[in-house]
Chain A
Amino acid sequence: MAAHAEADFRTRLQAWLPKLVLSPSLALIFVFVYGFILFTVYVSFTDSRILPFVDKNGQQTFDLIGFSNYEKLFRLSHWEIALGNMAVFAGLYIVICTAIGLLLAIFLDQKIRGEGALRPLYLYPMALSFIVTGTAWKWFLDPGIGLENILQAWGWESFSFDWIKNRDFAIYTIVLAAVWQTSGFVMAMFLAGLRGIDNEILKAAQMDGASNWNLYRRIIIPQLRPAFLSAFVILAHLAIKTFDLVIAMTGGGPGRATELPATFMYSYTFSRNQMGIGAASAVIMLMTIAAIMIPYLYAELKEKK
């Protein structure tokens, strides 16, 4: 009888084990992600300036001030510049990466000799840190020693290329480096999509007399919709998170010409001791990403169920 009871206990333990095993990860996620999000939201409603939140005498160092951080934030020209730069950067980055990725994928899909050698060449930038990428491009585009200097030394005396030092153009150099880093990855996504298309459909379309142009425009590209969607979601999310690249290439400058929300948040929180405003800007960033990711994840998970 005792043995029986013990067996029952083991059976019941087995039933609880899965949840037990999952719980540490869940606890970490709930505290460090969702708990922290709530915390940051709370901080964004306070006039906190600097850590810690409690001074040596146990006195709270902040007060609740409602939405005024958000009001202040959207009156700051610094934030306005960061948002404007974000729009330019994200727009160009997403469009150019998608265009290059699609073009390379379609070209690579034409039974290219040496595809096996080309693919890793296109993909390797993904393995690098943005700090490394940023360093390489920073000095290559530097007018003093980089492209401008090289071409002048080669004899093109009048050549001038100083975008990285130019307030009006610096943001485009960030786009260039970011595109360099991720467009190969987008190529891989589209290539996988192209390889998944049923070849018989293409043969049927050719029998119907479709030209290559029409074949791609009417038959193939429409079937790549899932790849377009994934590429958009991943690129948009990477764009909003872009931080390291700017720090490494321009540090947000010249002036504030390449300031993005991520660098704004960082400098307001850690260098300027305006933590409340920093928190408010982080909340805006989160809401932007959530607006893109939640519908996407919802659709993905619902499908796979």
Chain B
Amino acid sequence: MAAATQDSAVRTGRVTRMLIYLVLLLFALFYMLPLYVMLVNSVKPLDEITGGGMMSLPAQWTLEPWLKAWSTAQIGVQPTGLRPYFWNSISMVVPAVAISTVLGALNGYVLTKWRFRGDTILFGLMLFACFIPFQIVLIPMAAVLGTLGLAGSTAGLVLVHVVYGVGFTTLYFRNYYAVFPTELVRAAQIDGAGFFQIFWRILLPSSGPIAVVSVIWQFTNIWNDFLFGASFASGDGAPMTVALNNLVQSSTGVKEYNVHFAGAILAALPTLLVYIVAGRYFVRGLMAGSVKG
């Protein structure tokens, strides 16, 4: 990245630099704090937490809270743990991400390489759809899912997430393909390639960086969604976030904070993993404009 090698024209004195490092480190601590709290308290017995030891390392290490959160904790009425809800989320996220990314790629291709009168307005309408407060669609969506018999089902949530994610994926692919040389498409047309052949043979092989962006974005958003999950699938079909909230908010019995923290980490793990593994590609993909060739 050229930006990293740019020498800053701003010069700072020694004391200023010390202060800057201090502030940066303090903020690093601030951002790490909740993660630290969740991690240490998920591996210590409950009485260590209630005894004022939330910040200290466990005196007695235990994996009990994790096991309990995963497989035996009371979620709603059943002592199933978060496990079934984790799989609910997986079976919702995978198809929703795949479908919305494929649609976004095709839409981006059409909106940049097969432009027609009014395409910008249509794109604007798709883009605005990304930013609506979803409260505005909750009532009719509940009615439609009920009518279709999809209420409470994973298929219903997949539909919902595809609909409200396709604007974003289209945005990403459109911006990416906008700087993809149109002459390549013209050359392929003269070579006799059709609409899908051009997409498949010419554009798609160069689309890796933006596909990563689209997948990460969609994965994070859909995995982390709570509103739709809570509104349309609050029972056995609930996704992970809804189940975690049920676990934490349950008013019966003793509050098992260590189990709550372990559950929270379980719910955060997939997106954190994606972020750790592919976060770099996300930023790079967003910046990758030109395709050299």
Contact = CB atoms under 8 A, between A and B. Distances in A.
Interface of A: 14, 17-19, 21-22, 24-26, 28-30, 32-37, 39-40, 43, 51-53, 100, 103-104, 107-112, 118, 120-133, 135-140, 144-146, 149-150, 152-154, 180, 184, 188, 192, 195-196, 199, 202-203, 206, 212, 215-216, 237, 240-241, 243-244, 247-248, 251, 261-262, 265-266, 269-270, 275, 278-279, 281-283, 285-286, 289-290, 293-294, 297-298, 301, 304-305
6 contacts: A104-B24, A124-B275, A145-B54, A153-B51, A247-B245, A251-B249
A184 B31 contact: yes
B127 A19 contact: no
Given A110-B17, A244-B227, A25 B136 contact: no
A243 B226 contact: yes
A36 B194 CA distance: 36
A237 B50 CA distance: 38
A83 to B, nearest CB: 14
A111 B245 contact: no
A125 B54 CA distance: 21
B163 A206 contact: no
B271 A21 contact: no
Interface residues of B, number: 101
Interface string B91-134: 00000000000010011011100101000101111111101111
B202 interface: no
Nearest to A11: B194
A185 B201 CA distance: 36
B145 to A, nearest CB: 10
Given A26-B122, A52-B146, A241 B267 contact: no
B6 A301 contact: no
B52 interface: yes
Interface in B221-262: 223-224, 226-227, 230-231, 241, 244-245, 248-249, 257, 260-261
Interface of B: 3, 6-12, 17, 20-21, 23-24, 27-28, 30-35, 37-38, 41, 49-55, 103, 106-107, 109-111, 114, 116, 120, 122-129, 131-143, 146-147, 162-164, 166-167, 170, 178, 194-196, 220, 223-224, 226-227, 230-231, 241, 244-245, 248-249, 257, 260-261, 263-265, 267-268, 271-272, 274-276, 279, 283, 287
B93 to A, nearest CB: 12
A29 B164 CA distance: 8
B261 A112 contact: no
Contacts of A29: 125-126, 129, 163, 166-167
Contact of A149 (B38, B54, B167): B54
B28 to A, nearest CB: 5
A178 B245 CA distance: 17
Of the candidates B11, B38, B136, B241, the one having the most CB atoms from chain A within 10 angstroms of its own CB is B136
